[in-house]
Copies of this chain bind each other. A is one copy, B any other.
């Protein structure tokens, strides 16, 4: 029996019917040129023929009913592979919309806590003979991008490789273990403190605000502080059902905009999110008068740490959703992220850890203190940009065309936008609360149009990319439930 580390355990603690702590990735594959008519069936049978389970695919909770109190893993003696591995199909025409509906549905289904906490779905019936893989795991087993890493580990750049083993036979590798221990230790103390404050929610928020304010001195109006975000529909209490939508561009288009505007790729991504959010919220009459802010994971190297390499921390970016002009908005976002990163970079390692810990804990805090959906949010929306594989990858000869993260939500955080770059593409997965965000697929469409808008403003229209991508982007944006 292996007791969970506090950070892992936290995901079980806050797992509820309305906030299942499951993360996933969805990848679309095209068939090899010489594929027989039953290629997908054969692939499924190949996956099904490997009942070997590496960690963490062989772990289940020792006491599912005590998951929040005494979480511990045991190795499952018998694993019913036919339960975990599932073969599905899209109704015709098998387009982006049908796929979005199915992924939304699969990501809304709770997991069975009496079994190892993962599912793998092979989905056939996509237009053009393509198929999709959807891999779901509980966040207590893998971190946010763990699903992504897991899928990548089973892939190869060799288009001729065959008989590649399924992810559960390969395992997740070092994933979780690489997380800084100090965060865990601090989180334990933090959770204890938060528990002690139960029933005194505003006091917790104030105290936390002070901690962050003292760590990060305010110097610039573009500096976005925690708990200074406006109230918005994105910060309601969430319910159990999810919507999922996708968008993807050529990475070169995003790079060209970044170069022309003299900002980072991540700034352009934030700019696209800001433009789409502004338009969506204006349309539903819910754009706050104050600009929305985003919690953004970033990679930093602590000022006093020469050998530890990069650490993952978070910044809060001002999305400048009150600004109408897209170029001005992008410039201000860039200013906001530069200030936040500079400040973070100047902190010693202990400071970064303490600061990071607070960003990893907000959902825990909000649930523990009953703040979710009521108090002023720490930030309005989580926006992550995950670097992915640069070269095309294959699974048993099938080329991975796109890969998308499917994220989790918590009370007070009804929307998550995560991008992953892959083989010259920029793929975006948008996960939202079904009841809080009606017509959320419009966000995906608007993100496509926001890129065109920036290109036009920068005078970079007329390139081959834009002219061919425009109708595709509109169509792709409809992949949603």
**Which A residues form the contact surface with B (CB < 8 A)?**
38, 40-41, 44, 80, 82-83, 86-92, 98, 101-102, 105, 109-110, 112, 114, 122, 124-125, 239-241, 434-435, 481
The winner among A80, A88, A109 for most chain B CB atoms within 10 A is A88
| Given A83-B241, A110-B110, A112-B241, A92 and B124 contact (CB-CB distance below 8 Å) | yes
Q: Separation in Å of the A344 CB from the closest CB of chain B?
A: 40
Contacts of A125 in B (CB 8 A): 89, 91, 125
Q: Separation in Å of the A19 CB from the closest CB of chain B?
A: 14
Distance A109 CA – B109 CA, assembled complex (angstroms): 7
Could you tell me if B91 and A91 are in contact, using CB atoms closer than 8 angstroms? Answer: no
Could you tell me if A92 and B41 are in contact, using CB atoms closer than 8 angstroms? Answer: yes
Contacts of A90 in B (CB 8 A): 89
- Nearest B-chain residue to A125, judged by Cβ: B89
- Nearest B-chain residue to A44, judged by Cβ: B91
Q: Separation in Å of the A65 CB from the closest CB of chain B?
A: 10
Q: Separation in Å of the A88 CB from the closest CB of chain B?
A: 7
Contacts of A124 in B (CB 8 A): 91-92
19 contacts between A and B (CB under 8 A): A40-B92, A41-B91, A41-B92, A44-B91, A82-B481, A86-B105, A88-B88, A88-B89, A88-B91, A88-B102, A89-B89, A89-B90, A89-B91, A91-B122, A112-B239, A112-B240, A112-B241, A114-B239, A125-B125
Distance A101 CA – B82 CA, assembled complex (angstroms): 10
Could you tell me if A240 and B114 are in contact, using CB atoms closer than 8 angstroms? Answer: yes
Could you tell me if B41 and A83 are in contact, using CB atoms closer than 8 angstroms? Answer: no
Could you tell me if A80 and B434 are in contact, using CB atoms closer than 8 angstroms? Answer: yes
Contacts of A241 in B (CB 8 A): 83, 112
Contacts of A239 in B (CB 8 A): 112, 114
Q: Separation in Å of the A472 CB from the closest CB of chain B?
A: 23
- Nearest B-chain residue to A37, judged by Cβ: B92
- Nearest B-chain residue to A78, judged by Cβ: B435
Distance A238 CA – B453 CA, assembled complex (angstroms): 57
| Given A41-B92, A92-B41, A92-B124, A87 and B114 contact (CB-CB distance below 8 Å) | no
Contacts of A44 in B (CB 8 A): 91
- Nearest B-chain residue to A98, judged by Cβ: B87
- Further pairs besides A88-B91, A110-B110: 12, Cβ < 8 Å: A38-B92, A44-B91, A88-B89, A89-B90, A89-B91, A89-B92, A89-B125, A91-B124, A92-B124, A112-B239, A114-B239, A114-B240
Distance A124 CA – B92 CA, assembled complex (angstroms): 9
Q: Separation in Å of the A244 CB from the closest CB of chain B?
A: 14
Contacts of A435 in B (CB 8 A): 80
Q: Separation in Å of the A103 CB from the closest CB of chain B?
A: 13
Contacts of A101 in B (CB 8 A): 87
Q: Separation in Å of the A119 CB from the closest CB of chain B?
A: 11
Contacts of A434 in B (CB 8 A): 80, 83
- Nearest B-chain residue to A102, judged by Cβ: B88
Could you tell me if A87 and B91 are in contact, using CB atoms closer than 8 angstroms? Answer: yes
Contacts of A82 in B (CB 8 A): 481
Distance A409 CA – B132 CA, assembled complex (angstroms): 34
Contacts of A240 in B (CB 8 A): 112, 114
- Nearest B-chain residue to A38, judged by Cβ: B92
- Nearest B-chain residue to A112, judged by Cβ: B240
Contacts of A102 in B (CB 8 A): 88
- Nearest B-chain residue to A18, judged by Cβ: B114
The winner among A91, A124, A239 for most chain B CB atoms within 10 A is A91
- Nearest B-chain residue to A113, judged by Cβ: B17
Distance A179 CA – B238 CA, assembled complex (angstroms): 39
Q: Which 8 A-B pairs have the closest CB atoms?
A: A89-B89, A89-B91, A87-B91, A91-B124, A112-B240, A89-B125, A109-B109, A89-B90
Distance A110 CA – B86 CA, assembled complex (angstroms): 18
Distance A381 CA – B481 CA, assembled complex (angstroms): 41
Q: Separation in Å of the A440 CB from the closest CB of chain B?
A: 12
Q: Separation in Å of the A30 CB from the closest CB of chain B?
A: 18
Distance A481 CA – B434 CA, assembled complex (angstroms): 30
Q: Separation in Å of the A414 CB from the closest CB of chain B?
A: 15
Q: Separation in Å of the A164 CB from the closest CB of chain B?
A: 21
Contacts of A80 in B (CB 8 A): 434-435
Distance A90 CA – B114 CA, assembled complex (angstroms): 27
Contacts of A91 in B (CB 8 A): 40-41, 44, 87-89, 122, 124-125
- Nearest B-chain residue to A64, judged by Cβ: B17
Q: Separation in Å of the A257 CB from the closest CB of chain B?
A: 35
